[in-house]
Amino acid sequence: MTEFKEEHVPLASRIWISVADSSVAILQSLVATSALTYYFVKLRGLDTGLAGIVWLLFGLWNAVNDPLFGYISDRTKSALGRRLPYIRYGAPIFAFGFILFWIDIPGTAGVQMLMFWQMLVALFIYDSLYTAIATSIYIMPYEMAVSNKARSTIYVWKIIFMVFTIVVPLVLERFKPDVGDLAGISSFRWLMIGFGITMAILVFVSTYFYRENHFTQEEEQPGFVEAFKNCFRNRSFVVFESISFTIMFAQTCIMQGIWLYFDELKVTGLPLYISLAVGIIGGVVLWIKQREAWGIKTSLRIMTLLFALGCAAMLLGGRNVIPAAFGFLMFGFGFAGGMYLIPLMNGDVVDYDEHKTGLRREGMYAGINSFITKPAISIGQWALLTIITAFGYDQTLAKGAQSYSAQTGVLVGWVAPTGVLLLLSFFALAYYPLAGESWEKIKKGLEALHKEKERKYLESKGYKFVE
């Protein structure tokens, strides 16, 4: 029997793929969960109803965009691999798409339909590039390694850098301009443009520090319809989507709601930020330490309960520092679990598909995952805007001037829908099948199979396989 060394991903590869992932996620966080809607609704005066329609229409585009790109990337063949070309050469165009949000187009100020169309068109352009790059980065660890132990070494670094995804919007929240502050709004625009350029440069440079397995390019992939059906024949994927959708919804509502929460309820921010940081750090330690002992399935079920508990604390006591600090602590555990455990579960789902079909189809799975979860961004934005409007939120008022009812609406729209979805996910995860010793044996067999396929591929091209 052939003996293989334990999988190892070089340190530079782990760091740079994490830098790229964090860079893209920072921009997406500003677009999907915080700054963009605030900028158009609060600072530019776009009607909340029109902004909600933008996000719903945008969700329809993702129904086509994401699965289609996943299918195309699985069938891509190039010297760089199936994913790297999209990351490297898409980065400059991605930056351009992000910049389009913040350009002050002459004649749009105060004109509702022109602002509506600017936000909508910019979202369509930006997301096409975001899909290509973010999907490729998201599934790159599955191309780089197969064992959860080796993949885990990548995700530890991704979590470290992902902290910036949470920190950057929170820092910007403290410096955001108020209604009517023209100089502040202009500075805010240039700050966003600078972020777009800087993050794109980091993404481009990162592609010179990691590689993907090339044997997967030799595999014959099924047609689009069959590939789509095969994903939903995988029961583990269907269960996985319940928690994947919920985490995307939670991140959208909570990060967007934070801006409104600190504006209107005037709770002291420092203890809450400290609690969030402690929760994230404690969550990372907990999930890494207990992942093997508890398994991914059990870890995620515990995480959903902690996250839901945080939502309940904010809903019932969010006007006071102590319960709010507890809520933020639980949010930290939830964010850490979402960043670390969700990708590992997704990798197992794809591995199981390979075990059943003999093919690696990360792109198709990532595309359909986005097809299901990206509407969570749109629905989350729409739900928050709809709820606060129903409670009497007035977007023309300065910070802290909302009525008591509107403040309540901010709390309800911020955490109530998320808490319900988290509890539903807890029960759905009971049906997740990939757990236990039998699954671990399958994983070890796939790891050996991948090494053998890569060896044969390199030798067929005249190269020597080196472990």
Give the separation between CA 366 and CA 363, rounded to whole angstroms: 5
Give the separation between CA 80 and CA 202, rounded to whole angstroms: 18
**Residue ranges per domain, the chain?**
16-460
Structure tokens at 173: 């929240």
Evaluate whether 333 touches 287 at the Cβ level (below 8 Å): no
Give the separation between CA 251 and CA 177, rounded to whole angstroms: 23
Model pLDDT for residues 394-444, shown as the tens digit of each residue:
878 877 888 999 999 999 998 999 999 999 999 999 999 888 888 888 878
In sequence order, what are the residues at sequence separation of 6 or more whose Cβ sits closer than 8 angstroms to the Cβ of residue 52?
381, 382, 385, 386
Give the separation between CA 314 and CA 297, rounded to whole angstroms: 26
Q: What is the pLDDT of residue 4?
A: 42
CATH class belonging to 16-460: mainly alpha
Q: What is the pLDDT of residue 33?
A: 63
Range 4-30 average pLDDT: 83
Structure tokens at 314: 């904010």
Model pLDDT for residues 234-249, shown as the tens digit of each residue:
889 999 999 999 998 8
By residue count, the chain amounts to 467
Q: What is the pLDDT of residue 215?
A: 55
Range 50-79 average pLDDT: 77
Q: What is the pLDDT of residue 3?
A: 43
pTM over 0.95: no
**Which helix (H) or strand (E) element contains residue 65?**
helix 48-74
Q: Is the pLDDT of residue 446 over 70?
A: yes
Range 47-73 average pLDDT: 78
Q: Is the dihedral of CA 230, 233, 235, 238 positive or negative?
A: positive
